[in-house]
Structures are given as structure tokens and as C-alpha cells.
Amino acid sequence: MTTLVIGAGLIGSQVARILAERGERPVLMDVAAQTTAIGQIVDLPKVTLVQGDILRPLSIVDVLRSHGISRIAHTAANPLLTVGAQREPYAAINLNIMGTVNVLEAARVTGLKRVVVSSSSVLNHYLDGGEDQGNFGKEEAFPRPTTFYSATKQAVESLGLNYAKWCGIEFAGLRYGAVFGPWSGAGGGGPSNVIREAMRNALAGKEAAVPPGAMEWVYSKDAARGTVLALDAKELGSRVFNITMGAMTTPAEMAEAIRAVVPGAKVKFEAPAGTGVSLSNRDHHADLARAKRTLGWEPEFRLREAVKDLAEWMRRHPA
């Protein structure tokens, strides 16, 4: 069994690490792989690293056929996620929607069954409307996404579920929370970069800035473990799963976690320049029951454990 991991970044590199550590040799595909950063996460001689572009369907098919791929974990996404999509909506729509369709279509035409795709917990938060409360005959039956990024992720889930229904693809969409964790390369979402920079400053004795609003986080190692469990699951059931810490983290709680790991750290609450879009619907968090029941997944890294692990990794890999 050979797994293709698309996107060798914050989550994809961790998925490859888990697979390699249990004796598999995953194929790690990226349009522009950052080998130094990837090598800090996974032992490069234990993976096959290939260049490929999800916007070029034939390059996906070529990798599937030439490497005998049996399943796919698709983790590639537009740069800076929500913020990036607000700045460049067309690029995000093209990459997130058409890129994912290209992956699903490549799986369909080659007869490959299991495809696990990154969705996002923005679909639990960036929503508005639904005044008609599910009445199919009315125009506002259901809430709609309020950002370009969340709109792309809703499309990805809907398309994946239709590929499952009509084409026999075993599809799973994983609604990751805001992901942070070990990664020294470029890319990642705005929130993950903010936490990485905050921890770097705290370790250097500088003032650390954390987002001023509540966030729903997940540690990258937990996101990757959930991805592998979805790849392995005998039955996927609902096919869409929440993968988060299962809690909304306040700025004070994040600051406390940083100070617990770096005693005496100075922390301020500040919106990073250019973020622009505040988190909607902060009064609830994702329900993890389905992921636990179907995948056997629940977070191993709660906030303090995650911040501690990140700090230890950053001490071993200083910028």
C-alpha cells in the first residue's frame, strides 16, 4: 500500500512522518518542496519526494500510475488560507476547488478509492443566514459561508461527497481547526504563523503577540494523526469530521500557555497587520464525537501540551 501525500507543508510533512515511522514509504508531492523544512519533520530518505501541481491533472495521474498509489491525503491549500483568499479570491478558488476536483477526478479515472481531503473548521464559524431554518422551499434555508476561503471549503466538501455518492470514491473531508505546530518553511495559515512568531519571540526574550480573539486550534501532529486514521478507517461513515482541540481558546489562555512554557514571557494581544477578517460565531466549538466514534480520533495535544511541544521543537531547530 502506497500513500500519496499532496502538499509537503505543516500537515502533509507530519502525515508523511507518521507513515514513514510505521514502515511505509509515502510519496510526498509538492509544487515547490521546501526540503530543509520537510527534513526537519520527516527523514527524507524514508519518503519519495516528487514535484507535481494539482492544477495540472495529468501530473497527478502520472504520479498515481508511476508510483502505484493506492490512496491519497490531499493537504495542499492556498497561501495564508482565509487572509490569502480575501486578498486573491480567484487564485484561492482555483487552487482549492479546481485543484481538489483534479485530485478526485484523477482518483476516479485511475480506479483509486480512498481520498482524504483537508477541509476547515471555518465552516463551523464563518457562516451567516439560515433564517428559514432548513425549509427547502425557501431561499434562506441554510447558512452560507461569509468568506471566500470558507466558501471554497464548503464546495470541496459538497463535491467530495458527490464523488463518493456517484463515483465510488471513499471520501473524507477533515475540518481542521486553526493549525499550528513545528514548521520552519514558508506557507501555512495566518494564525499558525502568528503563533510560531509569538513562540519565537518568547524564546528570544522579546514580547510575543497573540491574536486578540478566541480561536479554535489543533496541533499539527494531531491533525496529521487524524488524517492517517481517516486513510486507515475501514468505514468512513459520515465522511466529514471535525479535527480540532474541541475548545475555543481565549487570548488569555494562549498567553498563559506560553508563560507556562517560557516563564516570564511578555505577551500582548494584537491583531497582526493585514489579517482583516475576524472570526465569526465564537460562542461554540466543534463537536468531536463523530471523529472519535468513526475514526477513533481525539486530540492528544491540548493547548499547554501543544505549546510545550512546539517550544521544545523550536529550541532544537532555531531559526
| 251 within 8 A of 211, measured Cβ to Cβ | yes
Domains of the chain by residue range? 3-179+220-245+277-300
Section 19-43 average pLDDT: 98
Query: Is the pLDDT score of 274 beyond 80?
Result: no
pLDDT of residue 258: 98
Main-chain dihedrals φ then ψ at residue 241, nearest 5 degrees: -135, 140
Query: Is the pLDDT score of 111 beyond 70?
Result: yes
Per residue in 57-66, pLDDT tens? 999 999 999 9
Say what the pTM is: 0.96
pLDDT of residue 264: 96
What's the mean pLDDT when you consider all of the chain? 94
Query: Is the pLDDT score of 273 beyond 80?
Result: no
Query: Is the pLDDT score of 315 beyond 60?
Result: yes
Written as nine digits, the cell of 197 is 512568531
Q: Is 138 exposed, middle or buried (0-12, 13-18, 19+ CB in 10 A)?
A: exposed
Nearest one of 271, 236, 265, 232 to 251, comparing CA atoms: 271
pLDDT of residue 190: 85
Q: CA-CA distance, 118 to 77, in Å (whole number)?
A: 8
Query: Is the pLDDT score of 7 beyond 90?
Result: yes
The residue with cell 477526478 is 105
Task: Provide the CATH number for the domain formed by 3-179+220-245+277-300 in this structure.
Answer: 3.40.50.720
Q: CA-CA distance, 111 to 61, in Å (whole number)?
A: 11
Section 85-104 average pLDDT: 97
94-103, 121-130, 190-199, range with greatest mean pLDDT = 94-103
pLDDT of residue 275: 52
The answer to which of 38-42, 187-191, 287-291 has the lowest mean pLDDT is 187-191
The residue with cell 493549525 is 179
Q: Is 304 left (phi over 0), alpha (psi -120 to 50) or beta?
A: alpha
Section 150-160 average pLDDT: 98
